[in-house]
Chains A and B, each alone.
Chain A
Amino acid sequence: MALIEFTDKGLCCPQGKFYIDPWKPVDKALITHAHSDHARWGSKSYLCHTYSKPILQLRLGDNPYQTVEWNENISINGVKVSFHPAGHVIGSSQIRVEYNGEVWVVSGDYKVVDDGISGQFEPVPCNTFITESTFGLPIYKWKLPEQINKDIQNWILKNQEEGRTSVIIAYSLGKAQRVLKAIAEVTQNIFVHGAIYNIHATLMQAGWNLPAVKRVTNETKKEELAGSVVVAPPSADGSSWMKRFTPYSVGVCSGWMQVRGNARRRNVDAGFAMSDHADWAGLLQAVKATGADKVFVTHGFQAQFSRFLNENGIEAAEVKTEYGNDEEEGPTALTAAEE
């Protein structure tokens, strides 16, 4: 019996009788982070990081939630479990599982650079590492967060000069919070879509210090919107909801914007290759830092990334999961797979 098995309900630890990020209802679910492809509805009880709880409550409703801090050791049916920062979004954690001296780490989603809000990714030594591979090709190389922020700020300033509203498309959990910090450095006139507002309000209530924003409603006046910055989720892009901002420019924050064709295909004015996932170098760095002698590769370019690891002396295999297709954002092309 392996410490963690891949079942049709998700990643299962039979010894501890719990699942990690299951995609079907189970008795006990350990949740790496609150994105809806990792945190699903219907389980009897949930264990997550303290920061994830308010968002889970918002998204999944009232359930029995147990919370832990990073690096806090707990025991579940004799299996030692601890959470460690994954740097993906607020509260996102890698989950370390230990039994009889054998250690597995489930990465969930992660990035290795510090975005100043999601915590600094912590390499956790282990025997077996289960990694994501959303951007597991060497064409994906991110600029430093400060540089992307500067690019976004320059774009906003240029739009203001030209009298256009800047509409920024970003995921409601993760990139929206990151991008708001950058926006607040150039303007106070910030509006957000309802979906982002809900998360924003929840996080503020939980004590997070985020920039002040206004919610776009049907009462919002055109004069207020002029020259403002609006943050909206991908589902809003191209919808009639956007019309009220005319004249506006659309900028999409997504790792997929790394490839010119993707920005063109979505018919956006600007694409910012900003991601909450590790780029190619980040994935390699993370895998090597764990010292794992066996790596399982999940959602993304798993075939390519695992082949590369195998050819470079790290035993790896791909695993099919149901992560990476998030229903909340709908099937909005490439970007839907990024959560």
Chain B
Amino acid sequence: MNKNIDDIENLIQLEHLRDSAPPTNGGGLGLFANLVKVLGSSTKTNDKLEALVNYFALADNKDKVWVIALFSGRKPKRAVNTTQLITWCIEVTDLPGWLFGESYHTVGDLAETIALLLPETISSEQQHESKPLYFYIEKFKQIEKQDESVKRKFIIESWEQMDQNERFVFNKLITGAFRIGVSQKMMVNALAKFTSLEASVIAHRISGNWDPSTTTFGELLNENPAITDYSKPYPFYLAYALDEEPANLGDPDNWQVEWKWDGIRGQVIKRNNQLFVWSRGEELMTEKFPEYSCLKDLLPDGTVLDGEIIPSIDKKPLPFALLQTRIGRKNVTKKNLQETPITFFAYDLLEYNYEDWRNKPLSERRKQLEAIIRPLTTPTIILSPVISFSDWNELAELRQTSRENGAEGFMIKRKSSLYQVGRKTGDWWKWKIDPLVIDCVMIYAEKGSGRRSNLYTAYTFAVKDGEKLIPFTRAYSGLTDKEFAEVDSFVKRNSLEKFGPVRTVKPELVFEIAFEGIAASNRHKSGVALRFPRINRWRKDKKPDEINTLEDLKKMLEVYGTKPQS
């Protein structure tokens, strides 16, 4: 249905006449906005899958390619910056800047704030035409280099032709990535309905390096791809946490056990005489780790390895904190290379001689992996060792030595297992050691971001040192919504001071913080840095004077910590 949007009177009348059927909005951005809404709000996997399948059934082919790209972390060209977007929103709404700021602070998402603030020109219930998703994305590319006035005109006119849901996704396209509850597995399952390709092949196709503006839907899901992308990684197979006694896994002989390393999961690809290193987050990290460049000459062509990216010296891993200092760095210095040499702990072989090996059993893959790695003498790549053990009790005992070995427990893999896609239960398990814990008191609180933007949910905790309280970590997760609300109301009633967004709180609430590791740090007042701190439980049974001391933390550092070299 075509409408003249200048004629507001007419629009209002039409709105009143519309029937009660839910809007269809005839494809384009509206269809996409609807999809994002369902994906963002539904709590059931089946509903999400159904929404995706519906979308792929109805949407324009070019739009589909973009949706696949967006949902796997690719971004369109950034045509305007957030400052411009905010400025224009303030102009259109005629609100003072500070009030925009307050609104943003409460909503926690810029795209949504703007969508909520803009005056409604078309209601969500109203049937209206919406342009295709690719139209906007191509337009962003066109106006990228043009005058600000051109951009302004395009953005404001676009807003006027959209309802609130469309404005939200439109703003999202401009401001950055869509983070919504769609796993790659789910997208693959939805796409599998439209092609005879196997799920693992689809997953492979949509990962890696491809350009959504030049790739067609046909090419992406073609049964015989014409172009070869040598960099393309395989989707990772992920393990489930073992939540029962390992004895229930049966005969130990059926299982291969390795240490669970505390680095970054990665894939090393050697194809076409080129080397590519991918992280599990599907980030191409080849340049970050110059050490790996030697692998280009050492690995046979047509090889894909799965393993852990981790700094190590003499086959012994260094603390994760050191890896972080490497990742954050733009230029790697000679000193970095000496102090934190990055190693690849290889544990699986996914491709050999350009042949996909994922459907061979682990035992066979491991054998070939060993044949490839063993002869190499470089410290840059090593085999992640297989732990020998005769019964599960022995393994449980060995597990107690995880921290000394720089590991966080075991990986238990069925020897007959194929290399699957995503998280599948049954064949691969992670058997992690219990976290370290410490009791402490909350002393600062800050409002959360995004979905928790209205509540004080980010806390700083302290241990005691004599009479003093020494802050040592922050944590944002681990409480139920109900508990967060309870703490939030405590914070509001017991704030002592306000420093910007931070409130100093009466030190009264005691929490048990769990963490995976501890390292010395001179950037922290307490002298320690924790790895993966989170709230384990609220110790309502404890009083603030019963918390742990700085001394306790230092002891933990001595026992479990790995000091950074100086």
A and B are partners in one complex rather than unrelated chains: yes
Residue interface mask B36-52, A partner, CB < 8 A = 1: 00001111100000000
Contact of A139 among B44, B103, B123 (CB under 8 A): B103
Asked whether B113 is an interface residue with its Cβ less than 8 Å from the other chain, the reply is yes
Residue of chain B at shortest CB distance from A153: B20
Q: Are B481 and A137 in contact (CB under 8 A)?
A: no
- Give the distance to chain A from B252, nearest Cβ to Cβ, in Å: 39
User: Cα distance A330–B482 when bound, in Å?
Assistant: 9
Q: Are A138 and B489 in contact (CB under 8 A)?
A: no
Contact of B125 among A141, A147, A238, A311 (CB under 8 A): A147
Q: Are A260 and B40 in contact (CB under 8 A)?
A: yes
User: Cα distance A304–B450 when bound, in Å?
Assistant: 20
Q: Which residues of B contact A150 (CB under 8 A)?
A: 20
Asked whether A266 is an interface residue with its Cβ less than 8 Å from the other chain, the reply is yes
Asked whether B454 is an interface residue with its Cβ less than 8 Å from the other chain, the reply is yes
Asked whether B249 is an interface residue with its Cβ less than 8 Å from the other chain, the reply is no
User: Cα distance A307–B103 when bound, in Å?
Assistant: 14
- Tell me the A247-292 residues at the B interface (CB within 8 Å): 256, 258-271
Asked whether B452 is an interface residue with its Cβ less than 8 Å from the other chain, the reply is yes
- Tell me the A281-332 residues at the B interface (CB within 8 Å): 301, 304, 307-308, 311, 325, 330-332
Q: Are B482 and A238 in contact (CB under 8 A)?
A: yes
User: Cα distance A106–B303 when bound, in Å?
Assistant: 76
Asked whether A334 is an interface residue with its Cβ less than 8 Å from the other chain, the reply is yes
Q: Are A154 and B20 in contact (CB under 8 A)?
A: yes
Asked whether B400 is an interface residue with its Cβ less than 8 Å from the other chain, the reply is no
Q: Are A264 and B116 in contact (CB under 8 A)?
A: no
User: Cα distance A263–B481 when bound, in Å?
Assistant: 12
Given contacts A238-B482, A260-B112, A333-B481, is CB(A268)–CB(B107) below 8 Å?
A: no
Asked whether A60 is an interface residue with its Cβ less than 8 Å from the other chain, the reply is no
Q: Which residues of A contact B286 (CB under 8 A)?
A: none
Q: Which residues of A contact B484 (CB under 8 A)?
A: 333
The secondary-structure label for the interface of chain B is helix
Chain B CB within 10 A, most for which of A139, A331, A336 = A139
Q: Which residues of A contact B116 (CB under 8 A)?
A: 138-139, 141, 258-259
Q: Are A331 and B485 in contact (CB under 8 A)?
A: yes
Q: Which residues of A contact B98 (CB under 8 A)?
A: 307
User: Cα distance A150–B18 when bound, in Å?
Assistant: 12
Can you sample 27 A-B contacts with CB below 8 Å? A137-B99, A138-B93, A138-B95, A138-B116, A139-B106, A139-B107, A139-B117, A141-B116, A154-B22, A238-B481, A259-B107, A259-B108, A261-B107, A261-B108, A261-B109, A261-B112, A264-B41, A265-B451, A269-B41, A311-B96, A325-B489, A330-B482, A331-B482, A331-B486, A333-B488, A334-B455, A336-B485
Known: A138-B117, A260-B40, A269-B42. 19 other contacts (CB 8 A): A137-B99, A137-B102, A139-B106, A139-B116, A139-B117, A141-B120, A143-B123, A238-B481, A259-B107, A260-B112, A261-B107, A261-B452, A262-B451, A262-B454, A265-B452, A271-B41, A308-B99, A325-B489, A330-B482
